[in-house]
């Protein structure tokens, strides 16, 4: 029997991991066995840490997007199959990636059609970001990304079978109506849902639809790979793993620590005009418990928040920092390094030792396969 393959895309910070967690729980409750696949241009992923903390089997494809690492995607699915025989795979692609239909779902259907039944592609949107992208924001409109980044954003929506307006509770009815109308006008063939992955509102209708249908026959959209590559390269990427020792710290409250670090990174980046796409961190105590703190902020003008928190003070812990912003990788690194130093100075006895650090601009996407038709057709 073939397994289901669900992919939940959307721009950086749209709420993919939050929705994947909900979807995986919903399917588990209905007797399905879940295998999750995360993906990033770098390694040491906040998302894998977050999803594992909910008890799911997770395989991580690091160092490039699904389309450029198609073979690794298939290997990750095979590994999960060997380990735990999932009946449903849920894959979260990199939030700056597009052309997933031609490079991932059509190849999966054509090369491995007997192994997988492929669900419609869902693309999530953060409504505040989308209102800005479509010039509909009436207030607090913050900074817009450059046009080539917006090109990727809109291409993601163009190829969506299903567009999901997430974080519905954050916008007014009037804002929702304006956004929904713009999405309907620009992407008339996509089915649309409005949900809150955080509260759970609206999720059942979307889950039932995606789980109950297969991606239809079709033709992939055209993509200008030069613009796509230039748009991706405008985004700086910074990942770090930091060993935290708070045994002698004046203040060992991990929740306070992670929020202070978020603020110390967000403020100078925003002042430097580097719009944050997503700054996320996890703090995982080395005490053998499954508890972690997770903090996120998805735009320069938004407030950082804790999605998960710790109930006790920390002693030793591992901090993972993933930052994506429209700015140079060097700027991102300088800002994070200064923020870590500032935090150590402000909290006597706290030590923060960077174990691993990488910063870069994503390279040009070079897909392993690109099929323009869902059925028989020529490979590019
Ligand atoms: N208010 C609100 N916040 C949400 C909702 N869904 C997700 N978030 C928050 O949005 C932020 C980003 O969520 P993630 O699930 O990490 O987003 P993502 O799309 O996986 O991000 P990347 O993997 O970095 O592209 C987190 O702070 C979430 O808690 C929602 O329905 N309402
Ligand atoms: Mg994610």
Q: Which residue has the CA at smallest separation from atom 17 of ligand 1? A: 15
What integer pLDDT is reported at residue 379 of this predicted model? Answer: 44
pTM score, whole prediction: 0.94
Residue nearest to atom 9 of ligand 1 (CA): 15
Give 333-364 pLDDT, tens digit per residue: 999 999 999 999 999 999 999 999 999 999 99
pLDDT tens digits for range 12-61: 999 999 999 999 999 999 999 999 999 988 877 889 889 998 999 999 99
* Among 122, 181, 132, CA closest to 157: 122
193 CA → ligand 2 middle, Å: 19
Q: How far is the CA of 123 from the centre of ligand 1 (A)?
A: 13
- Domain residue spans of the chain: 3-230, 236-360
pLDDT > 70 fraction of the chain, expressed in percent and rounded: 97
Closest ligand (CA of 37) = 2
- For helices 254-271 and 329-346, what crossing angle results, to 10°? 140
Alpha carbon of 46 to ligand 2 centroid (Å): 8
- Residue that is written with structure tokens 């505040």 in the block: 128
Q: Say how far apart CA 345 and CA 335 lie, in whole Å.
A: 15
Q: In the CATH hierarchy, which top-level class contains the domain 236-360? A: alpha beta
Q: Say which CATH topology domain 3-230 has.
A: Rossmann fold (3.40.50)
Measured from the alpha carbon of residue 129, the closest ligand is 1
- The pLDDT assigned to 289 comes to 85
44: left (phi over 0), alpha (psi -120 to 50) or beta: left
Question: What is the 345 CA–ligand 2 centroid distance (Å)?
Answer: 31
């Amino acid at each position: 029997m073939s397994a289901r393959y669900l992919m939940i895309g959307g721009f950086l910070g749209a709420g993919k991991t939050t929705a994947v967690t909900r979807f995986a729980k919903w399917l588990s409750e209905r007797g399905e066995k879940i295998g999750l696949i995360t993906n990033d241009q770098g390694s040491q992923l906040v998302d894998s840490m977050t999803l594992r903390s909910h008890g799911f089997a997770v395989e991580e494809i690091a160092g490039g997007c699904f389309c450029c690492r198609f073979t690794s995607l298939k290997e990750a699915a095979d590994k999960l199959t060997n380990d735990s025989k999932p009946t449903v795979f849920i894959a979260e692609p990199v939030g700056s990636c597009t052309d997933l239909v031609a490079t991932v779902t059509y190849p999966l259907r054509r090369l491995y059609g007997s192994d997988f039944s492929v669900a419609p592609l869902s693309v999530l949107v953060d409504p505040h970001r989308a209102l800005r992208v479509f010039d509909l924001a009436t207030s607090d409109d913050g900074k817009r990304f450059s046009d080539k980044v917006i090109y990727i954003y809109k291409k993601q929506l163009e190829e969506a079978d299903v567009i999901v307006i997430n974080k519905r509770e954050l916008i007014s009815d009037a804002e929702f109506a304006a956004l929904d109308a713009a999405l309907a006008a620009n992407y008339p063939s996509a089915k649309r849902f409005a949900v809150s992955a955080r509260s759970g509102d609206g999720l059942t209708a979307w889950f039932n639809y995606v789980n109950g249908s297969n991606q239809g026959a079709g033709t992939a959209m055209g993509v200008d790979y030069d613009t796509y590559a230039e748009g991706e390269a405008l985004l700086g990427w910074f990942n770090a793993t930091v060993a935290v020792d708070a045994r002698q710290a004046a203040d060992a409250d991990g929740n306070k620590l992670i929020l202070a670090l978020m603020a110390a990174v967000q403020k100078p980046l925003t002042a430097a005009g580097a719009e944050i796409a997503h700054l996320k961190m996890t703090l995982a105590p080395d005490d053998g418990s499954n508890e972690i703190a997770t903090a996120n902020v998805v735009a320069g003008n938004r407030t950082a928040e804790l999605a998960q928190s710790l109930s006790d003070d920390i002693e030793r812990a591992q901090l993972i920092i993933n930052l994506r912003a429209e700015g140079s990788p060097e700027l991102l690194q300088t800002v994070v390094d200064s923020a870590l130093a500032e935090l150590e100075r402000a909290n006597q006895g706290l030590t923060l030792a960077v174990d691993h650090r990488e910063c870069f601009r994503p390279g040009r996407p070079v897909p392993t396969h690109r099929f323009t038709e869902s059925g028989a057709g020529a490979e590019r």
